Amino acid sequence: MKVAIFGQYYQNATSPIMERLLHFLEINKVDFTIEANFLKMLQDNKVITIDLPTFSSHSDLNKSYDMLLSVGGDGTFLRAATYVRNSGIPILGINAGRLGFLANVQQENIEKILKLVIKKEYKISKRTLLSLNCSPKIDAIKDLNFAMNEITVSRKDTASMITIETYINDEYLTSFWADGLIISTPTGSTGYSLSCGGPILTPDANSLVITPIAPHNLNARPIVIPDKSTLKLKVTGREENYLISLDSRIASASNGSELIIKKTPFKINMVEITEATFLKTLRNKLLFGEDRRN
């Protein structure tokens, strides 16, 4: 078995996780490489004191890899997806952060879960991604124009709202007068969209969510649409630029630009263990349906 390891360094959390992880991989004779910047962080913090094989871009990860292990939080998992892209390499998230909806393997379960991985006793949850094309083009996102959680447009350098003229399959929906607009995948429905009043979708739902951010037109509410839809957005406002974010990656677009958002032709393969399914995580992490009266 051959795995790649990508992560972020968290004080007092990453060190014990990596010690347990590397020990397990070594005694089970699993080949592994570590993302170069992550290895440097580990070496700087004396977690690792030797040189190890590294990778530094998505082009370094070929079909010989069985899995990518993401060590960190959900944001780390989203960044890990930019290394996997359309390769089909499954991602397993080991949680060193807080909520851990995507990175749902807890530190105390590392050995137990990895034993199941070696035995191939796991399922693959295929996660939809969104692509973004802009006119005029934006150089900052041309190489990484996809998002696993959401694509968001929002105001920049102003307290004034922006207007987002929205079309679904070239049919006019409405013009949102708001702080911004979130286009979310089922994976992202438990993130930013949820905090703005959007619904929760199960990962296998063939749908997307359009969620306005603090809309001034109060009768504008989140709407669920088929994921085969093509969205067109035209954003205008008092300032010359507004912000576009693809998960954690941010770019600036000029007023009046046209954005085309649709599902990517590929999906991310997320490793799902029986002990940490989506519904179990929903109950345990978001306390879904909990009632103190019971």
- Distance (Å, whole) CA 65 – CA 58: 12
- Distance (Å, whole) CA 251 – CA 23: 40
Antiparallel, parallel or unpaired: β 207-213 and 162-168: unpaired
CA distances from 145 to 88, 104, 182 (A): 18, 26, 16
- Distance (Å, whole) CA 260 – CA 43: 42
Contact 188, 200 (CB under 8 A): no
Q: Which residues contact 45 (CB under 8 A, 6 or more apart)?
A: 9, 14, 15
- Distance (Å, whole) CA 214 – CA 161: 9
Q: Which of 74, 143, 227, 247 is catalytic?
A: 74
Contact 4, 80 (CB under 8 A): no
Task: Classify 256 as helix, strand or coil.
Answer: coil
Q: Which own/partner contact pairs does 193-201 have at CB distance under 8 Å and 24+ positions apart?
A: 193/150, 193/222, 196/222, 197/221, 197/222, 198/222, 199/224, 200/282, 200/288
Q: Is 157 assigned a catalytic role?
A: no
Active site residues: 74
